[in-house]
Amino acid sequence: MADAQTLNPADTVTRVRGYLVGLQARITDALEAVEAAEGEGGARFLGDAWSKPPGEPLQGDGITKIMEGGRVFERAGCGFSHVRGPQLPPSATQHRPELAGAPFEAMGVSLVFHPRNPYVPTVHMNVRMIAAGHPGQAPTCWFGGGMDLTPYYGFEEDAVHFHRTCRDALSAFGDDKYPRFKQWCDEYFYLKHRNEQRGVGGVFYDDFSELGFEQSLAMTQSVGDAFLGAYLPIVEKRRGMPHGERERDFQLYRRGRYVEFNLVWDRGTHFGLQSGGRTESILLSMPPLVSWSYQRSDAADSAEADLTQRFLVRRDWLAEGLGTAQSMA
């Protein structure tokens, strides 16, 4: 098996790993500050450092940070991992068949935050780097990442703000990047068995190396750095909105769709499980409580039906909303 020094020079590993660990710390510190703003006794992240013992399919280490039972966030998981394996799993070689069976190295930060208030949307973000190559061949390195928003009750200004922040994070790397990655996100975070979008989207990209290593890395860092500005203003605006059993019931029902996507369609989940990753860390995206209803139907003029009719569809949020949406500042 090729080792880490073969796939990635040591200085590259140190630099990218340092950025990712720092990004994880910045994001979890910011969420703890949100919890602390609610008063004494705010929830904190539990940090669980782990490493894979000899003999496991994967080698490597990581830090899983998890917050549960918070006043603002019912469950929030943010994980860093850095692993090496003897062969890429099938989920990673769908578009790179020449690398089937090749040794690989992967590192990244992935998060999912499930809020307590149904008016605050769930959010997902991921940034990662993968390198792979057969012995005797030059390694191939690529990046992936993005962020997407999954509301339970729709607000156009929230969707516009989120998409505007995504666009601005990518603007220095070409005018084509946001439209391409927005469409990619819409197509990827789609429940084919439900004929339904998972949320209002954002940006998503994978197998990306077209800008060369340095600029592809810089673009991925820009996406990671933009996350807090994309999400926290929405949290601040919605977390105090009054709600009751009806909204809570709908939130748990919609969380069922989130679980379905992650287990049935998500390539990241499949990659982790197929490669022998750490199950607790891979499934940190799961919500603490969830429900399903058989053929649920909401009144046509209800806020619940409005979510499906106007928000869980593919829309050009910036073209529609730039002139009318309220500022999140």
Q: Known catalytic residues?
A: 124
User: Can you spell out the DSSP letters for 107-142?
Assistant: EEEEEEEEESSTTSPEEEEEEEEEEE--TTS--EEE
What is the Rg, in whole angstroms, of the alpha carbon atoms belonging to the chain?
A: 20
Q: Nearest 5°: phi and psi at 63?
A: -135, 115
Q: Of the candidates 141, 298, 326, 96, which has an alpha carbon nearest to the alpha carbon of residue 234?
A: 326
In sequence order, the β-bridge partners of residue 73 are 115
In sequence order, the β-bridge partners of residue 68 are 75
Q: Of the candidates 108, 147, 142, which has an alpha carbon nearest to the alpha carbon of residue 127?
A: 108
Sign of the alpha-carbon torsion through 307, 312, 316, 317:
positive
